[in-house]
Structure 1
Amino acid sequence: MASAIQKIALNVSRDIPFNKLVLSQSNVRRVKAGLSIEELARDIERRGLLQSLNVRPILDDAGVETGTYEVPAGGRRFRALELLVKQKKLAKTASVPCVVREAGSAILAEEDSLAENVQRVALHPLDQFRAFRDMLEKGMSEDEIAAAFFVVPTVVKQRLRLMTVSDKLLDIYEQDGMKLDQLMAFSISDDHDRQLQVWEIVSQSHNREPYLIRRMLTEKTVRASDRRVRFVGLEAYLAAGGYIMRDLFEADDGGWLQDPTLLDRLVMNKLQEAAEQVRAEGWKWVETALSFPWGHTRDFAEIDGTPVVLSDEEAARLTALHSEQEAIEAEYAQEDEFPEEIDTRLGEIEQAIEALEERPVSFDPGDMARSGVFVSLDTDGTLLVERGFVRPEDMPVEPEVDHDESDGYDDAIDHRGDGDDAEGNGREGAPDIEPEEEDGLKPLSDRLLTELTAWRTLALRDAFAANPHIALTELLHSLVRDLYWQVSGVDCLEAYVREIPLPVHSPDMPGSLPAHALRQRNEGWKHDLPEDEDALWQWLDGLDDTSRLALLAHCLSFGVNALHESSHGPSLARSVRERLARAGRLATALRLDLVEAGWQPTVENYLGRVTRARILEAVRGARGNEAADRIAHMKKGDMAQAAERLLDGSGWLPEALRTRNVAGRNAGEAGTADMSDNPDAVAAE
């Protein structure tokens, strides 16, 4: 016969006046955590006490109950009630529901206190989301929900954002099939079909990191920080019916625009409107594009405009601004830094001065009738209008000159500034993407080498132009070599500069630091040049030595050529090798550092163009074997993306961009980079 199961008896529950309760020293909670006592008191004031206190009778020396009780479990609730009593919101004798442990129990008070805290299970985030959703559907606002649970509204918004995730993915998360940060990554999009497609892909992969989920969900979108978005404005995009994806769980830099086609149409419409306004000025032609190729003005002559003279009112305003600026700087000359309001005012003054000094330019109507304008989008998202360019066929015909009687020279080389192109439209043909099945440390393609060396050539020109001493040394070296080692020509001086075009380049080159510096330098010199040849000679003759050397270096920089070219035949191959060797010598003399010049490896300019072995070689050289091993299993596309993050800030350069004897840029030195320099890249893996 089976023995009867002994039934347990639960502790009695009774209401005890608050002034008969004291906090037990056996309460194990010592460290403050979670809701504050003040917040808990406000919650009890609003909702009442949702959970009884656990108490034990206090005995006197004879073992007799004294009528008072200690509270070993529920100390925070006790303190919240105590605060309400002090605030006179609760009577001292108010009844408090308590579960009473009998006197002399074998269960220690510390055990009760520990059990109540340890055996408590935190609410599952999905349950919290569903509760918030139900309250929202029953009429509570997000702010009211946040106030009721003493959390910031952002927490409520984040939890409610999970409403955009497919129910199937919510079920997978509920069954522990994915982590919370992965689920949150899916909330960036409300396209349930796409969410399920991405999960099907990543669930079969070793890499299920949230960053990968976000990238796959946003790969056909446009960042809100894109220059096109800055040009048209988010408001215009939204007004046209566009939609923005936001990430409430991670910094998203303004989100992602889901309709690139709509965005491009808005950009081109706005560019066309600007072009029509420019055309109304009287130009013969206006060309419009999102961006033009690098060097698109090379074959055009350029007409000069006349800056509009300041009006009397503008001149007085400019003088007043300069005076105010000088007075402020003199007043705070001994201070380490300006007060915030003074610094703000100085910034306003500088902007006002710049606006007045950058004068608009007027052109002769006759020149405008044979000239044109390029209208495009600048790298910072502003309108770029380049006026005054003449096509070769529209150039006036020069009368024939009897060269036998001429004491001058026929042709003047006009080095105009290159245009800007952030999209890489100057690149001829499609990029030479390496097939997935090809691997190994095979030589870099000719096109990729040309693009890399175009970057190096541009940076080398900038460094060359900024160092007149080396520029003059290089010129004298060329002249002496021609004089003593080659047969002289029939002209009086066979020294000239031929601008080397850079039609093949990566998209990031036009917006780079060297490109910006060269454009600024070129515009500065062009602004100072006289109008005719005789005046130019007199002007050059009167320049001080420093200015002459600086101008010489600038002019010579257009002829710097460090380009790799595909060679057919031993003679051309030898010429290219000799050129690159001399360019290397020049780079070493200038201590050219492509990292300082702004080049860094990306999927577009290098990592997506080489084999997996090359990618791993780069990561291994910059971040070590462990980092390379962590991405070695990935497919090439994912590996290139991961490598871009790992190499960010590492200072690694491909061999074609390295300069001998520049510290930290050689292959052996790059491998010493500390992983801590790039915590985001490490975390992403």
Structure 2
Amino acid sequence: MTQTVKLAKLKRSEKNVRTTPPKNIEAMAASIRARGIMQNLLVTAARPKGMFEIIAGDRRYLGAMMLAEAGEIAAADYDVPVKIITGDEADLREVSLTENFQREQMTVAEECVAFQHFLKTDGDVDAVAKRFGQTRRFIEGRLRLADLAEPIFEALAAGKISYEMAKAYGSTADKAKQKRVFEQYGHSSYVNADQIRRAIANDTMKATDPIAILVGADAYVAAGGRIERELFSEDGDRWTDPELAQTLAATLMEAEAKRLGEELGVGWVRPVATTSLYGITSDLHRVTLPAAPLTDEEQTRCDEIEERMQVIESDMEDEGIDDDTYAALDAESDRLREEYQAIHDKAPELTDEVKGQVGVFLTLGRDGKMTLDTTYYSETPIRLPGDDRPLPSSPSSRRTADLPPEAVAPGGKPLSARLHDELAVQRRDILAASILGDPGLALDYMLFCLADPSHGYGRYGTTVRAGRPQDPQIPKDQPATQAQVAIAEAREGLDTSWTEGANPVERFEAFRALSDDAKAAWLAVVVATSLEAKPDYSSVTTNPLHARLASILEIEPAKWWRPTSANFFDRVSKGTLLALLTSVGGAPLAARYMASKKGEISTSCEKLFAGEAITEAETKEAALAWVPDAMRFDLVSAADADEAFGDEPDDEGFDDDGDTNDLGADDAGIDSDEALIAAE
């Protein structure tokens, strides 16, 4: 039977099974302030007579006491609804456990809908926050989750995704972006919240990004840019129109580059919104200018320093010199050396003869400030006065006739070595991410590479022993591709409990105890991360076995990778872009861009090949299906395999004594055990 007891007659009990301090008492106090205590407490009679101990309801009691201590209610007069329980200590503890154990908290989805309802009623986030004793940020976060794209909120409500995952999707208010990422990653069991947040962040720009600092929030918003508050992270707000910010930054940097060019009188000043020139200067020639000659005054002073230094050295060799005199001469010697070095460390002399042939780069620092790089470059080799050495050949002079098709860009020009390497790595990543879903195929591939007697590491495009492949050097600041994200997600989803063993035997036994599914996941990841990007031994840069795996998996690279300005279009010539436009849309499409600047064509190509441009259906279909030959797996034939692998070994590849031919034990003059140790 429920009755009321004055708040002052209640006290906490040791019989309550909840021993940890209740959390968020402020929120409970706010609820009591607004609506009173809505659920009765369970209490039992205690000493002195008239007092009651709380068996269940500690948080409600502490919330009411907080109001009493603040003077909002009087403990002696405030009625608390209670249900009085009788029994021995064991009975009371059982009641406490039952009451706490059977209570079911509201789900996050239910909280979101409820707060959304109250906001519609009150119309004020601060009022709702005060009403429930929460912060404004907490309420805004729940409202953001309530406004998630429909399939994501349904997944949260059904328990298919966690609260942390929902917050990751809610890091942007753009429902279209949420839905795109959910469709791409939402059905993978390997995905975690950080990966979702990174995938969404790739389409936004942090307010602390150097480009954002350079542009400034006021100019960005005035130009129509949108800023999205980050409710689930302390990393700062995000700009949801990064292309606009980049355009504004480019305008600022181009204006500064023009001013500097006129001031310096050099051939060109190129603005680049980065601190690193890695790869940007690959098609240019570095110009090392001679230092300016010394003036008559400078030469005279240098002669004086040399004469004085000889006197100092002679005086310091005198064994009868006292310590103070020696120290003074030593200090004078140091000063003279510094002065001498400063006179000779003159800036390079940029003469009028070469000034118009060289240029410099205007870079953007991490603090958002523009800085002029002091290294000079030329687009073609130049001869400096007094230098009779042969001119170096131009990087673009490579012949394309001897190159494989995938190393040649549309229009016939060769891809840069760096771009070719990057595309090879990304093509390999697509294969690696695809093989994750077929551990059986990964097992077949691994066992074949281990068992085949003619196995060589480069020959089969894999390290197989789980060694990491030696990839071409790729800049670390490039955004992760879809395939790379999938690989990282799979790795993070592995059961690593077995790795905690103190020695190899313990770790092996722990690994053996894993489930078959856990071992299969390890197998798929090990094989996927062993794949080589490209071989070094032949002109066929797509390994024939990789091509066969891709055909079995029915991989379509275009579904994994799309060309962008950053990863392709900015890296090839204008002629290549026009040739590419001709190949997907015919000469009329290319003609539209003949008079455009390369940067404008690159931007248009990015939209066209992402399917975002308004164009004919046939052109859109062709653009969405196109990838560079360097990203394709279907260019390798059986003849290419013969060329790559050469002759197969005789018989089964074993010597008479049972050793494999490729160990070469007999040739090396060592026995088979030594050969095996060497192979290890």
TM-score under structure 1 normalisation? 0.45
TM-score under structure 2 normalisation? 0.46
